[in-house]
Amino acid sequence: MIRGGPGYAAAALVLLFIFGPLIVVFVRAGGGTLPGPADWAAVRFSITQATLSALFSVILAVPVARALARRQFPGRSLLITLLGAPFILPVIVAVLGLLAVFGRSGVLNSVLIWAGLPPVQIYGLHGVVLAHVFFNLPLATRILLQAWQQIPAERFRLAASLNMTAGQVMRRLELPMLRTTLPGAFIVIFAICLSSFTVALTLGGGPKATTVELAIYQAFRFDFDLGRAAVLAVIQTLLAGIVALVALKYSRGEGFGAGLDRVVRRWDAQSAGLRITDTAVMILTALFLLLPLLLVVINGIAGWAKMPDQVFTALRVSLVISLVSTAVALALALPIALAALRRGWIEVIGLLGIVSSPLVLGTGLFLIVYPFADPARLAFAVTGLVNALTALPFVLRVLIPSLRASEKNFGRLADVLGLTGWARLRFLLLPRARRALGFSAGLAAAFSMGDLGVITLFADPSRATLPLQMYRLMGAFRMEAAAGAGLLLLVFSLGLFWMFDKLGRGDVDA
């Protein structure tokens, strides 16, 4: 086996980076004012929007997952791949695409005005919920599809031999599965939406649509009230921490959509009516997910020439931050994962990144840095570090199962050959973890590239990452330039993921 020392050191570092800022936040909040009515309104809004977002995502995912589970059609595997895309899609890019469809002068309003109907307004609660459904409907669908496929094919065969109708199959086989799966899917998505910042920043705002995370940002940016920011950060940590821990229990082995390309043969759902329903569901889902992205591409090409030079400076900054934070995430994850082979509880430390939100960590780091140095000068370093800590849980959840499988299948052979330490790493664990390493590096890189979070607290007007630059362009109503930057960001986020994932797949016969 491999010595655990470096793993314990890495785990200690993670603990320090997560609890250090948290402790500072709690201490500072102790001297701050008690939460006021505006703060409680933010708590209420956070919970309301997360509840609605999770509810709609989960309910709408049922027909989508059912259609995917029982139909074979051209483009099915493409659609399933697409369902994995929101994970690596920058939130701000998706918001831009949603604005192009549902915004003031978007496609939907053009149609409504043409038909003589009143236009819709995307900003506020329903806009926030819409964006969250855009991101989490695919996730809910993948969770449900996986559960659907865990119903053994023999059950459906038995149902067919008993001549059960589609409705009876639903009642006897599918509803019991949904009853056990839906609560888990709901709580996972609820937790994600509770801590989502970018969507609230771009589509929320105002006293009626401010989440706790957004309130932290506003306390920084508008009032520079660090005490209030700390109080809000404590509230957010308690709120999100509890929910995230519950969600984590449910989300084990969600698997990022791997192995979902199997279709179980069904005899009960062959009627024309059900075929038409499923087809309509598939088309609407594809349209809902693809149209915004398509418009990002089209508008991006149109706005390409309008991009100011700062966009390209910001692109370089973002690329460096992304690569550095990916390297940091892997450098922390690998020793922790190796140590977790011996002592499972080490894994939990790596997962703590989920509990504390990036904005809370940012607040704490700001409070630590502020007395000594200009936080703006450390904006990029802090962003890279926080992104690495946020990506760490996802990297670990891909990496650890891969290492465990290697030890299970080849551990005895390696033992008998005396493969220990570096030799074991080099000839057994690393080569076999190559796919997992590539995939998780891709996740970390794309995530960091597209993240708009902690940077908003630290950056001064002279500094920006690409997502922040894009947000500033949107704020200045330079929508064409923002569209160009959006396309750039989309290409680079997906490109980074593709590149790392490809590197991991080099060895086909391994």
Partner 1 sequence: MLTLEKLEIVLDGFTLNADFTLEQGRNLALIGPSGAGKSTLLNVIAGFLRPRSGRVLWQGEDITDLPPGQRPISMLFQDNNLFPHLTVTQNIGLGIRPDLRLNAAERAYLHDALERVGLAGMAGRKPGQLSGGQQSRVALARVLVQRKPLVLLDEPFSALGPALKHDMLRLVGDLMQEIGGTMLMVSHEPEDAQMIADVTSVVAQGTVTAPKPTAALFENPPKVLRDYLGT
Q: Measured between alpha carbons, how far is 50 from 211 in angstroms, rounded to an integer?
A: 10
Residues between 490 and 509 with contacts to partner 1, criterion CB under 8 A: 507, 509
Distance in Å, CB of 413 to partner 1, minimum: 6
Q: What is the rounded CA–CA span in Å between residue 165 and residue 273? A: 13
416 binds partner 1, rule: CB under 8 A: yes
302 or 417, CB closer to partner 1?
Answer: 417
- With contacts defined by CB under 8 A, name the span among 39-47, 99-107, 360-368, 426-434 that binds partner 1: 426-434
Stretch that binds partner 1, among 7-15, 144-152, 422-430, 472-480 (CB under 8 A): 422-430
Q: Tell me whether residue 250 or residue 410 sits nearer to partner 1 (CB atom).
A: 410
Which amino acid is residue 10, in one-letter code? A
CB of 504 to partner 1, least distance (A): 13
Question: Which residue lies nearer to partner 1 by CB, 374 or 415?
Answer: 415
Q: Which is nearer to partner 1, 422 or 477 (CB)?
A: 422
Q: Does 405 bind partner 1 (CB under 8 A)?
A: no
Select the residue interacting with partner 1 from 47, 286, 427, 478 (CB under 8 A).
Answer: 427
* DSSP, residue by residue, 98-110: HHHHHSTTSHHHH
| Residue among 248, 428, 464, 470 that touches partner 1 (CB under 8 A) | 428
Least Cβ distance, residue 377 to partner 1 (angstroms): 45
Q: Choose between 355 and 436: whose C-beta lies nearer to partner 1.
A: 436
Binding mask 430-469 for partner 1 (x = CB under 8 A): -xx-x-----------------------------------
Nearest to 164 by CA among 70, 64, 270: 270
CA 394 to CA 408: how far, in whole Å? 22
Planar angle of CA 417, 418, 424, nearest 5 degrees: 95
Instruction: Kindly give, in sequence order, each residue whose CB lies less than 8 Å from that of residue 306, ignoring residues fewer than 6 positions away.
Output: 478, 480, 481, 484
Q: How many residues bind partner 1 (CB under 8 A)?
A: 20
DSSP-derived secondary structure for 307-329: --HHHHHHHHHHHHHHHHHHHHH
Minimal distance, residue 423 CB to partner 1, in Å: 4
Nearer to partner 1, 231 or 403 (CB): 403
The answer to whether residues 68 and 145 touch, using CB atoms and an 8 Å cutoff, is: yes
The structure tokens listed for 1 are 């086996």
- Residue nearer to partner 1 on the CB measure, 121 or 420: 420
Buried b (16+ CB within 10 A) or exposed e, 171-193: eebbeeebeebbebbbbbbbbbb
Give yes or no for a contact between 48 and 126, defined as CB atoms under 8 angstroms apart. no
Question: Which residue do the tokens 């559960």 mark?
Answer: 147
Does 3 bind partner 1 (CB under 8 A)? Our answer is no
Return the H-helix or E-strand segment holding 113: helix 107-114
Told to check if 105 binds partner 1 by CB under 8 A, we report: no
- Closest to partner 1 by CB, 70 or 432: 432
Among 409, 460, 475, 505, contact with partner 1 (rule: CB under 8 A): 409
Tokens representing residue 321 in the block: 């931050």
d(Cα 318, Cα 198) in Å, to the nearest integer? Answer: 17
Q: Quick one: 39 or 407, whose CB is closer to partner 1?
A: 407
Sole window of 37-45, 196-204, 301-309, 423-431 interacting with partner 1 (rule: CB under 8 A): 423-431
In the complex, minimum distance from the CB of residue 434 to partner 1, in angstroms, rounded to a whole number: 8
Q: Does 419 bind partner 1 (CB under 8 A)?
A: yes
What sign does the CA torsion over 398, 401, 404, 405 have? Answer: negative
Q: Which C-beta is closer to partner 1: that of 105 or that of 409?
A: 409
Task: Compute the residue count for the chain.
Answer: 510
- Chain residues binding partner 1 by CB under 8 A are 409-410, 412-413, 415-420, 422-423, 427-428, 431-432, 434, 507, 509-510
